[in-house]
Structure 1
Amino acid sequence: MRKLLLIAAIAFSQLGGFAQAIYEDERYVPETDPLAMAKVKQWQGLKFGLLMHWGTYSQWGIVESWQLCPEDEGWCERTAGKNFKNYFEYKKEYEGLKNTFNPTKFNPDMWAKAAKEAGMRYVVFTTKHHDGFCMFDSKYTDYKVTDAACPFSKNSKANIAKEVFSAFRNQGLWAGAYFSKPDWHCQWYWDPYYPPFDRNVNYNPVTYPEKWNKYVEFTHNQILELLSDYGKIDILWLDGGWVAKKDDKVIAEAYKGIMDEAKGGFVKRRIVNQDIKMDELVEKARQKQPGLIVVDRAVHGKNQNYLTPENRVPEKTLPYPWESCIIAGGGWSYTPNAKFMSGREGVQLLVDIVAKGGNLLLNIAPAPDGTWPDGAYNLLKEYSSWMKVNQEAIYDTEPVAPFKENNICMTQKGSSTYFLYMAKDGERIPSEIVIKSHQPAKGAKVTLLGYKGNLSWKKDGNGFRVSIPSSLKNTPPCSYVWTLKVSKLAK
């Protein structure tokens, strides 16, 4: 059963949830490049980043590119547009969104300032999603925001990716380029001679090696463009993990496992060997950007420098670098009238992830006019207020066992240990906080971040109790999570 589950995880590594959980728990290969290793270590200290899904699809408020995918899944069902009952007419209509994309209110400086204030330390921006539309000025396609047929091409900020990276770097954030390995617009991925079957290339790369090599070259060229002409890029965040090298044995076993599980039922996704020559690409990429972090998502190997559980948080600490990418409100892409998580939910999400040794990559999706919803700004203001008080318990910290005790999370930095009390909805700071798993060393100071003065504490078995003065209860320094700092723990 364990082997079968692992095979299924490989086969369905992009579906998220159960399959991705198994994949992540089973497979990680450490980086060997010294500069990249050092960079990953730095990245682990950043803790909080911003992800943005944005493209022409925002005009329809749909699930990014996925309604182009002909798989029989409810979440990628065609619902928008006039021609959703005819796939080929629908694809033309979808790709025609380029001709109406005009985000005239695009102001990345506002986004970057809000992100910095919230305590975010890096951004990952969708330069190209699976539909193939480039949010940068690629010379290898006319399906891009800077093409003359796109009304926004006449805007001084038409090269959107360049503007985003520049604005966020100006605020001191790292720049990360999201790039989709599959390209459903490119003739060398979805050959117009054949109908697309699923998310994969619609021909056999082994049968047509010249055609596939053109696609590999096309992909490498676009990525190297981004790494050559867009300033300092810290992270190359590659999506579309099904585009990867797979040997015949893996393909055969995966099919057998899937068919056994389905008991002969319909297989919605094929397993196709799509060798994108990742080792070669990474070598060329790091010549352009030494120390570049590469995240070849859900592909087992050394080019997945950190792992990315999607829209979920692991239940425990993990023995490798990781970030949870989480939707802040609505969907990955723009959703009209999206409901965003509350400040309490957002802050406690960050605390829970950091206590487990991970980073939070929070997704905010811009609207078709180039603005963020008010809910996004309101959430970031909540982060800002909390981080101004508690950031030392977040940045550059490491997990400390048992990482969580009931509603109290734990982090550590140097000799200091932080105990982060996560409040229930509407709860006030209690008059006493009890820790059972640790105890301060003799003479250690116990304080509350944002409050001047030491707090009194006493031993309690192997733990300790901290008294909270009434004045602090009435006027706590922050909301949602209160942080006790212990200068040194007993051994």
Structure 2
Amino acid sequence: MKNFLFTLLFCITASVTHGQTKLNKYYPVEDVAVQKKLNDWRTLKFGLFMHWGTYSQWGIVESWALCAEDESWCKRENPDYENFKRDYVALKKTFNPTQFNPEKWANAASKAGMRYMVFTTKHHDGFNMFDTQLSNYKITSAECPFHTHPKADVTKAIFDEFRKMDFMIGAYLSKPDWHNENFWWPNFATPDRNVNYNIERYPERWQAFVDFFHGQVDELMTNYGQIDILWMDGGWVRPLTKGQQRLINFINGLFLKSGYTQLHVPQNQDLRIAEMSKKARQKQPGLIVVDRHIEGPDENYLTPEQFIPDRYIEDPWESCITLSGSWAYMPNDVYKSSREVIHMLCDVVSKNGSLLLNVGPDPEGQWAPEVYQRFDEIGEWMSINGEAIYNTTGRKEFGEDQERYTVNKDGTVNAFYLIDENETHLPKTIIFNQLKVRKGDTIRLLGFNGKLNWTKKRGTIQIQVPEAEFFKSKTAKYALVFKVVKQHSVQHTDYKMQEAELY
């Protein structure tokens, strides 16, 4: 019986604490202003994510080395945890990114074809990259050498520069705060990522943390211009369902009756997000709220992390994926090629999603040269083929192997041929298996002004690849886009109606 209860409790703990590997059921947005902004966001398709903090000085994983869990991403070089934590917190006193140039970042991201951005105003370690008045653990603290810089409030400077480039602005904010004594109380050890005291026993302490979190959201909504997206991370900080709470209480009761002490179990870490969202939207009407992995009305779009779903998804979603091998800056990191990023983007958009591509600035406030190189190359491709990415939807028959499809609002179909890195020469004929063209429709190759020859054969469309200087360009090394223009196209206005039929 004891083993059974331990197993049951472990399963509950895993489901509550460690998040989910599958996408949640989606709850449609009811607020009209949020619906409009969400529909506007869904047309943008390509965004920039940035993880940046004091941890960049050591070139280590963001925040997680502070966590005492025995996970690969929590490893630290210094095995003495207390000394490590002391030195980590002291990084605030040496953080001085004097080469910080948000205008350069915004220009590069815009050139790459990105149209929205999300910046980490605070990660789990609790170090604030904005001028909060609720904590002195921040980049604008007098103890941080960067505080005298004209752009010491890096969040404000970043948002201002990207807003000038017409980006939608997203503020990442961690729900857990491992520096805040009302989340990790110094009176107790910190066994894992969760609050480390009994919330039912110390409700005033948890209330203080809820007030702190709401207060920081209010600061961002009040002092940082127009914010379009509030992107909250730390999905293990969540309210328990009534069923989970009853079951946990029942199991604990059985253990207590058997003479065991009460176990450390998942708690009702309720930040009252619905209340917070309502207050935030009073200052930022239409604000998109992303309470990651928490199924319900405050998860305005879904966020698969480091993977692309294997199917078309009608609901709004975004894959957040790193350009390098890590979220934060690490020396000698390995970066994905421009081809990989373009293929990811085509894959995501064909399945009706958006791609949020992450870059980690270094301790000086710079991006690695590889980032600018990739962004330049991606931008060249987007300058020709962007019309097949922006303002499109995917479709259920999204493609197979090297073919992908998107659909424009007027009903035209874009057929992508993803060029493999081993294809030193393009095939003379490109075959699309999931494309049909009706009599009177035309096919054109984006970036090519000549006429295309194509035929229907055994249920496929076979397009002859012309010999042209165009195919010697960089843009032809990643993916080709063939636009099928219907003889009679129909303008769609409702996003859910934009999925085209398989012609």
Same fold (TM over 0.5): yes
Matched, 1:220 2:214: yes
Residue in structure 1 matched with residue 70 of structure 2 by the alignment: 72
Aligned equivalents of 2:12 and 2:464: distance in 1?
A: 49
- Structure 2 distance, partners of 1:351, 1:73, is 33
**Residues 236, 293 of structure 1: 8 Å contact kept:** yes
Q: Which residue in the other structure is 1:20 paired with?
A: 20
Secondary structure of the corresponding residue to residue 396 of structure 2: strand
Question: 1:261: which partner in 2?
Answer: none
Decide which of 336, 345, 369 is 1:374's aligned counterpart: 369
Letter in 1 for 2:338: G
Aligned mate of 2:459, from 456, 459, 462: 462
User: Contact (CA 8 Å) 2:399, 2:434: kept in 1 or not?
Assistant: no
Please provide the CA RMSD for this pair: 2.3
Is 1:276 aligned to residue 276 of structure 2?
no
Equivalences for 1:111-190 in 2 at 5 Å? 111-190=105-184
- Secondary structure of 1:164's partner? helix
Call closer, same or farther: CA 1:447–1:101 in 2, change over 3 Å: same
Equivalent-residue separation in structure 1 for 2:372 and 2:97 (angstroms): 18
1:66 CA drift (Å): 0.5
- Find the counterpart in structure 1 of residue 336 from structure 2: 341
CA contact 1:199–1:269 (8 Å) conserved in 2: no
Deviations 1:241-274 (A, max 9, x none): 11111135225658999xxxxxxxxxx9942210
SS of residue matched to 1:402: coil
* Paired residues of 1:430 and 1:473 also in contact (CA < 8 A): no
Does 1:423 pair with 2:408?
A: no
- CA-to-partner distance for each residue in 1:425-461, whole Å, 9 max, x for gaps? 1423321111222221211111100000331222223
1:9-408 alignment to 2 at 5 Å? 11-12=14-15, 15=18, 20-22=20-22, 24=23, 26-79=24-77, 84-251=78-245, 270-408=265-403
**SS of equivalent residue, structure 2 residue 163:** helix
Deviations 1:387-437 (A, max 9, x none): 011001000111123101321100011221011000111423321111222
CA contact (8 A) 2:125 2:178 kept: yes
What count of residue pairs does the alignment treat as equivalent? Answer: 468
Q: CA contact under 8 A between 1:8 and 1:254: conserved in structure 2?
A: no
Q: Distance in 1 between matches of 2:400 and 2:180?
A: 51
CA shift in 2, pair 1:487/1:11, >3 Å = same
- Find the aligned partners of 1:151 and 1:473 in 2 and give their Cα distance: 51
* Equivalent residues in 2 for 1:430-445, closer than 5 Å: 430-445=427-442
Cα drift, residue 10 of structure 1:
8.4
Task: Name the CA distance, whole Å, in 1 between partners of 2:314 and 2:11.
Answer: 23
Matches of 1:351 and 1:441, distance apart in 2: 24
Q: How far is the alpha carbon of 1:214 from its aligned partner?
A: 0.7
Distance 1:488 1:280, change over 3 A: same
CA distance in 1, matches of 2:246, 2:477: 54
Q: How many Å separate the matches in 2 of 1:53 and 1:10?
A: 28
Q: Residues 11 and 254 of structure 1 are in contact (CA less than 8 Å); yes or no, is this contact kept in structure 2?
A: no
- Give how far 1:471 is off: 2.4
Pair 473,174 (structure 1): closer, same or farther in 2 beyond 3 Å: closer
Tell me, yes or no, if the aligned pair for 1:445 and 1:454 is still in contact at 8 Å: no
Q: CA deviation at 1:11?
A: 3.7
CA contact (8 A) 1:61 1:333 kept: yes
Of residues 244-253 and 189-198 in structure 1, the stretch that sits farther from structure 2 once superposed is: 244-253
Residues 383 and 253 from structure 1, CA distance in 2 versus in 1: closer, same or farther, beyond 3 angstroms? farther
Any idea what the Cα deviations from partners look like across 1:214-260, whole Å, max 9, x if unmatched?
Answer: 11001000111001000010000000111111135225658999xxx
Amino acid at match of 1:318: I
CA distance in 2, matches of 1:153, 1:270: 41
Gaps of 5+ in 2: 1-6, 252-262, 488-501
Following TM superposition, by how much is the alpha carbon of 1:475 offset from its aligned partner in structure 2, in angstroms?
A: 3.5
Q: Distance in 1 between matches of 2:482 and 2:312?
A: 21
1:20 deviates by 2.8
Q: Work out the CA distance in 1 between the residues paired with 2:275 and 2:290.
A: 15
- Asked if structure 1 preserves the Cα contact closer than 8 Å seen for 2:13 and 2:265, the reply is no
Deviation of 1:8 after TM superposition, in Å, equals 5.4
Normalised by the length of structure 1, the TM-score is 0.91
How far, CA to CA, are the matches of 1:180 and 1:318 in structure 2? 27
Q: Distance in 1 between matches of 2:353 and 2:150?
A: 38
Instruction: State the shift of 1:9 in Å.
Output: 9.1
The 3-state SS of whatever aligns with 1:201 is: coil
Aligned in 2, Cα 1:319/1:474: closer, same or farther, shift over 3 Å? Answer: closer
Q: C-alpha separation between the residues in 2 aligned to 1:46 and 1:146?
A: 33
Say whether the 8 Å CA contact 2:312–2:394 is kept in structure 1. yes
Query: Residue 85 of structure 1: CA displacement?
Result: 2.9
Q: Name the SS of the counterpart of 1:46 in structure 2.
A: coil
TM-score by length of 2: 0.89
1:357 CA displacement: 0.7
Q: Which runs of 5+ in 1 are unaligned?
A: 258-267
Question: Against the structure 1 CA distance between its residues 255 and 423, is the aligned structure 2 distance closer, same or farther, given a 3 Å change threshold?
Answer: farther
Structure 1 counterpart of 2:296, which letter?
G
Contact 1:347 1:383 in 2 (8 A): yes
